[in-house]
């Protein structure tokens, strides 16, 4: 697999060869070490390009250049050290079959294995800690406000409310893995931090993987005591969705109803479109639990309440989804 840099490296290694999709096919016999160099040239060229992009990433002050540098480093490493080696394994030929041919160049193959593993470990660590992520801002003023929040959070590491605000802001601005890495560290230090567990639940839910992790954190948040009604509503809503997906309808409905009760404690004072939309979603979810248990009359009542709240919130897509289920109940 040849990047532009890898192409130049391969050409310099062999003056008598042809290529197929980046794979070098020598048309004359080479010494074992020469074969290894020809086969590895593209990969080393890709890694050289990644290193150049990495230097730009850490040296430039331009957020645009940093964004593209991050993406370029991640892409080069993924294709050079993950995708192409795996692709080669599925074939009877390929550069990586030569690179890891220990009978051909055992010392070079061993060095490559060590370097390969080290770079992959660093890549996976960077991926899990969000180093490839970049926060997104709508305006220069929001970027300045975020930078100030980051400074305050760094200056006050024991202020959990401030840390939660900073982590939530990271999450809202697209740095999901950075937020997840930070909340994990804090929860190891403060395992009974209820609001921290709720934030961890929201982040895990947004990442879409290991949904049971989100449910575990939501359960711990309730166990350790959430003080705000809105936070109670969020935790119960997450657990309701968790049990609904697992077809545990009675438990799901119980949590949706508790979320709705918590929401209604402040809904009269904060009758915003967002809160009304959330109320509509909770009634809709309760209706789904009844519908899947073939309790059509109860499902219709819940869907009608959901429709009423959605119409007040003026959310067309939500209204349409509820009407479709109402029609289904009526069949």
pLDDT digit string, tens, across residues 143-179:
889 889 999 999 999 999 999 999 999 988 888 888 9
Q: What percent of the chain has pLDDT over 70?
A: 88
Average pLDDT over residues 268-293: 86
- pLDDT band (50, 70, 90) for residue 7: very low
Same domain flag for 50 and 65: yes
Domain identity same for 181 and 260: no
243 and 223 within one domain: no
Which one is predicted more confidently, 17 or 29? 29
Q: pLDDT tens for residues 113-144?
A: 999 999 999 999 888 778 887 777 778 888 88
Tokens at 186, concatenated: 């804090």
Distance CA 272, CA 312 (A): 9
CB atoms within 10 A of CB 101: 16
Could you give phi then psi for residue 315, rounded to 5 degrees? -115, 100
Predicted pLDDT at 116: 93
Whether 301 and 190 map to the same domain: the answer is no
Structure confidence at residue 130 (pLDDT) = 80
**Which DSSP symbol is given to 275?**
H
pLDDT above 80 (res 29): no
Last-in-domain residue among 128, 150, 172:
128
**Residue 219 and residue 234 in one domain:** no
Q: Domain holding 208: CATH number?
A: 1.25.40.10
H or E segment and range at residue 262: helix 249-264
Tally of structural domains, the chain: 3
Neighbouring-strand partners of residue 24: 19
Q: Do residue 119 and residue 178 come from a single domain? A: no
Q: In three state form, how does the secondary structure of the chain look?
A: CCCHHHHHHHHHHCCCEEEECCEEEECCCCCHHHHHHHHHHHHHHHHHHHHHHHHHHHHCCCHHHHHHHHHHHHHHHHHHHHHHHHHHHCCCCCHHHHHCCCCCCHHHHHHHHHHHHHHHHHHHHHHHCCCCCCCCCCCHHHHHHHHHHHHHHHHCCCCHHHHHHHHHHHHHCCCHHHHHHHHHHHHHHCCCCHHHHHHHHHHHHHHCCCHHHHHHHHHHHHHHCCCCHHHHHHHHHHHHHHHHHCCCHHHHHHHHHHHHHHHHCCCCCCCCHHHHHHHHHHHHHHHHHHHHCCCHHHHHHHHHHHHHHHHHHCCHHHHHHHHHHHHHHHC
From 227, 252, 268, the end of a domain falls on: 227
Q: Same structural domain for residues 13 and 93?
A: yes
- Measured CA to CA in angstroms, residue 324 lies from 59, 233, 311, 329 at distances of 54, 26, 14, 9
Residue 5, pLDDT > 50, answer: no
Range of the domain at 173: 135-227
* Same domain (yes/no): 108, 139: no
pLDDT at position 216 is 95
> What's the pLDDT tens digit per position in 175-230?
888 898 899 999 999 999 999 999 999 998 887 756 688 999 999 999 999 988 88
Tens-place pLDDT, residues 67-116: 888 889 999 999 999 998 888 888 777 788 888 988 888 999 999 999 99
Each as own residue / partner, the long-range contacts of residues 26-34 (CB below 8 Å, 24 or more positions apart, any chain) are 32/104, 32/105, 33/105, 33/108
Last residue of a domain, one of 98, 128, 158: 128
pTM (two decimals): 0.70
* Sign of the C-alpha dihedral computed for residues 207, 165, 285 and 228 taken in this order: positive
Residue 51 has pLDDT above 80, yes or no: yes
Q: How confident is the model at residue 246, as a pLDDT?
A: 92
Question: Given a cut of 50, is residue 21 above it in pLDDT?
Answer: no
221 and 180, same structural domain?
A: yes
In the chain, what percentage of residues exceed pLDDT 90?
44
Q: Is the pLDDT of residue 56 over 70?
A: yes
pLDDT of 4 above 60: no
Query: Is 181 in contact with 130 (CB distance < 8 Å)?
Result: yes
Q: So what's the pLDDT on residue 331? A: 56
Tokens read off for 209: 């993987």
56 and 142 share one domain: no
The two structure tokens encoding residue 198: 């709720």
CA angle 130, 134, 140 (to 5 degrees): 150
Instruction: Please indicate, yes or no, whether residues 93 and 193 belong to a single structural domain of this protein.
Output: no
Please report which confidence band the pLDDT of residue 26 belongs to, taking 50, 70 and 90 as the band edges.
low
**What's the CA angle centered on 40, arms 39 and 44, to 5 degrees?**
150
> Do 297 and 217 sit in the same domain of this protein?
no
User: Taking a C-beta distance cutoff of 8 angstroms, is the pair 14, 24 a contact?
Assistant: yes
Average pLDDT, rounded, for the chain? 85
């Amino acid at each position: 697999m040849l990047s532009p840099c890898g192409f130049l490296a391969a050409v310099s290694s062999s003056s008598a060869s042809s290529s197929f999709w980046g794979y070098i096919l020598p048309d004359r016999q080479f010494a074992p070490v020469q074969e290894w160099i020809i086969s590895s040239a593209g990969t080393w060229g890709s890694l050289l390009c990644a290193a150049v992009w990495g230097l730009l990433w850490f040296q430039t002050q331009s957020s645009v250049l940093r964004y593209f540098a991050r993406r370029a480093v991640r892409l080069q490493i993924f294709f050079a050290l993950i995708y192409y080696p795996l692709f080669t394994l599925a074939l009877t030929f390929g550069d990586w079959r030569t690179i890891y041919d220990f009978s051909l160049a055992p010392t070079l193959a061993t060095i490559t294995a060590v370097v390969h593993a080290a770079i992959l470990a660093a890549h996976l660590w960077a991926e899990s800690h969000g180093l490839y992520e970049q926060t997104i801002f709508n305006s220069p003023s929001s970027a300045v406000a975020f930078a100030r929040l980051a400074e305050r959070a760094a200056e006050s590491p024991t202020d959990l409310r401030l840390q939660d605000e900073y982590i939530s802001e990271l999450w809202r601005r697209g740095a999901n893995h950075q937020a997840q890495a930070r909340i994990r560290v804090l929860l190891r230090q403060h395992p009974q931090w209820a609001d921290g567990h709720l934030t961890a639940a929201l982040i895990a839910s947004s990442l879409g993987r290991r949904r049971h992790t989100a449910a575990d954190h939501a359960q711990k948040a309730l166990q350790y005591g959430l003080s705000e009604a809105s936070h109670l509503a969020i935790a119960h809503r997450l657990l309701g969705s968790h049990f609904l997906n697992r077809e545990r309808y009675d438990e799901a409905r119980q949590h949706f109803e508790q979320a709705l009760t918590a929401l209604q404690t402040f809904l009269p004072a904060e009758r915003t479109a967002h809160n009304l939309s959330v109320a509509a979603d909770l009634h809709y979810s309760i209706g789904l639990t009844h519908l899947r248990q073939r309790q059509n009359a109860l499902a219709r009542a819940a869907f009608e309440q959901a429709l009423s709240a959605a119409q007040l919130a003026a959310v067309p897509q939500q209204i349409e989804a509820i009407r479709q289920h109402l029609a289904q109940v009526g069949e």
